[in-house]
Amino acid sequence: MEANARRTDSAGFPEPLPLEEAWQRLKAHLPPRRVEVLPLETAAGRVLAEEIHAPEASPRFTNSAMDGYALRYEDVAGAGPDALITLAVVGESQAGLPFSGKVGPGEAVRISTGAMVPEGADTVVPVEEVEVEESQVRLRAPVRRHQHLRFAGEEFKAGDLLLASGAELTPPRLGLLASVGIGRVTVFRKPRVAILVTGSELAGLAQPLSEGQIRDSNSLMLAAGVQRSGGEVIRIDRVPDDPAETAKRLQGAETQADLVIFSGGVSVGPHDHVKPAALANHYQPLFWRVRIKPGKPMFAARKEARMLFGLPGNPVSAYVCFTYFIYPLLRYLQGFEFGHRTVQAVAARRVENPLSRDHLMRIQLSGKGEHGVPRVEPLSRQGSHMLTSLTQADGFIRLPAGGRVEAGQEVSVYLFP
Ligand code: AMP
Ligand code: MG
C-alpha cells in the first residue's frame, strides 16, 4: 500500500511525507464500521446505523391540548358576548382514563391535557374561558371549530421516516424513539482499542523508579484520549524495547482490537522495534514519517479491517498525533464523518514557522475577540517533552512549512478530544 518508492534522506531513511498526503492515505484506507444492536437505555450518544420508520402514528389518538371541556361545536357556534350558552357536564376524560360514553347535544365532558377526546366531541374550550356551576358550564366567548385539539397522526403517520441512518442519538431523539415504542436500535459499535507503550525506561505508577527510568504517562493519557473520543480501551500493555517481545505483544493485543496504538519505538534508533514488529505481523504500511513538528516518526499501517498506529513516544508528539490522525478515525468508526473537529479563531499575534515541516503549534483559546470569534494565543513552551505545554493548550493550529499567520488573521484550531 505504501505507494511508489520514496526518496531517502542522507541517512537512508525515507523522506517524511507531506501531512496532507499522510491524511489522504489514511482516508483512502478507512476500515469498515461495525454495528451492534443496543437497548435504548444504553444508546445515548451513539449513531444510528439504520433508518427508523414510525411503527405508529403520533399522536396515536386525538387528544386535548388544554385543560377544559370537550363539546360539540354546533352546540356553541353562536356563543358570544351577548349569547350565553349553557351545557350539561356529563363526565370526565382524564389522561389515561378516557370517558367511555358519547357526548350528545347540549352536553360537555371535563377534559385534561393529553386526554382522549370523547366520541361526539370535536372542540375543546379551555377551563379559563367558562363559568362552572354545579354540573353546568356556561360560555360567552366565541369558539372555533376543532380548537385546542391535537389530531391523531398530525405529527407523523405510521411508516413515516423518523430518523435517518447517521443520526446521532441525542436525548430528544431517544425520547422520540421511546414515544413510539422502539426499544432497540442498530448503532455503530465503539471501536475497541489496544494501547501498547514501548520503552525499557518506563515504569508504572505503582512501581519504584530505578536509575534512568521514567514514569509511563502516555498509557494513561492515551487511554483517556480514546475514551473521550468514544472508543473502548480493551488493553494497556507496557513493552520493553526488544524486537521479539514487541512482535509477540502485538499478537497478544490485536486479536480483539479494531485499533492498535503503539507509543514510542517508531523512530530511527536502534531500539525502535514497532515498525518491524508490524511488518512481521503482516501489516501493510500506509505511511511512516510525516513532515510535521512534533510527530515526524508517526507510523500507520493496516491489516484487513484492523488499523495500527505508531505514535512517537514524546508525550506531546503522541497526543498531537493522536488528535490529528486517530481521533477522527475513532469518530468515523462510531458513525460520524471522517474529518477534524475544528473551530475558527483569530490569531492574537503574528507567528512564523521557519521550518521545512508543518508546525502543529499548541495554542490556547482566550475570550472573544471581534464579532465574538475566540482569540488564539500561541503557547511559548513548545518543547515536545514538556507535558505542561499540553495541559494549557486547547488544541493546535497548523502552520505550513515556511509559512506565517499575521495578528488578526483567521485560523482553524484543531481541538483536542
Ligand atoms: P521514543 O519515541 O521511543 O524514542 O521516545 C521518545 C521520548 O519519549 C523518550 O524520551 C521516551 O523516554 C519518552 N517516552 C516514551 N514513551 C513514554 C511514555 N509512555 N511515557 C512518557 N514518556 C515516554
Ligand atoms: Mg523508546
If asked whether residues 169 and 200 sit together in one domain, one would say no
Q: What's the domain count of the chain? A: 4
If asked whether residues 378 and 397 sit together in one domain, one would say yes
**Sites in the chain below the pLDDT cut of 70:** 1-5, 369
In which region does residue 360 sit, left (phi positive, over 0), alpha (psi from -120 to 50) or beta (all else)? beta
CA of 372 to the centre of ligand 2 (A): 44
CA of 314 to the centre of ligand 1 (A): 5
If asked whether residues 238 and 318 sit together in one domain, one would say yes
Kindly give the number of the ligand 1 atom that is closest to the alpha carbon of 201: 12
Q: What is the pLDDT of residues 214-267, one digit of tens each?
A: 999 999 999 999 999 999 999 999 999 999 999 999 999 999 999 999 999 999
Percent of the chain with pLDDT over 90: 91
Asked, for residue 10, whether it belongs to a domain, the answer is no
Question: Which structural domain, as residue segments, surrounds residue 214?
Answer: 19-34+190-333
CA of 324 to the centre of ligand 1 (A): 19
CA of 306 to the centre of ligand 2 (A): 24
If asked whether residues 124 and 229 sit together in one domain, one would say no
If asked whether residues 180 and 213 sit together in one domain, one would say no
Is the bond preceding 374 in cis, omega lying within 30 degrees of 0? no
If asked whether residues 169 and 140 sit together in one domain, one would say no
Residues with CB under 6 Å of ligand 1 are 197, 199, 201-202, 214, 216-219, 263-265, 267, 312-315
pLDDT score at 381? 76
If asked whether residues 141 and 161 sit together in one domain, one would say no
If asked whether residues 386 and 374 sit together in one domain, one would say yes
pLDDT score at 99? 98
Instruction: Give the E-state strand segments of 12-106 in sequence order.
Output: 35-39, 52-53, 63-64, 68-71, 85-93
66's grid cell: 388544554
Is the bond preceding 32 in cis, omega lying within 30 degrees of 0? no
Kindly give the number of the ligand 1 atom that is closest to the alpha carbon of 314: 8
pLDDT score at 97? 98
Hey, which of 215, 216, 236, 314 would you mutate to test ligand 1's pocket, going by the most ligand atoms within 8 Å of its Cβ? 314
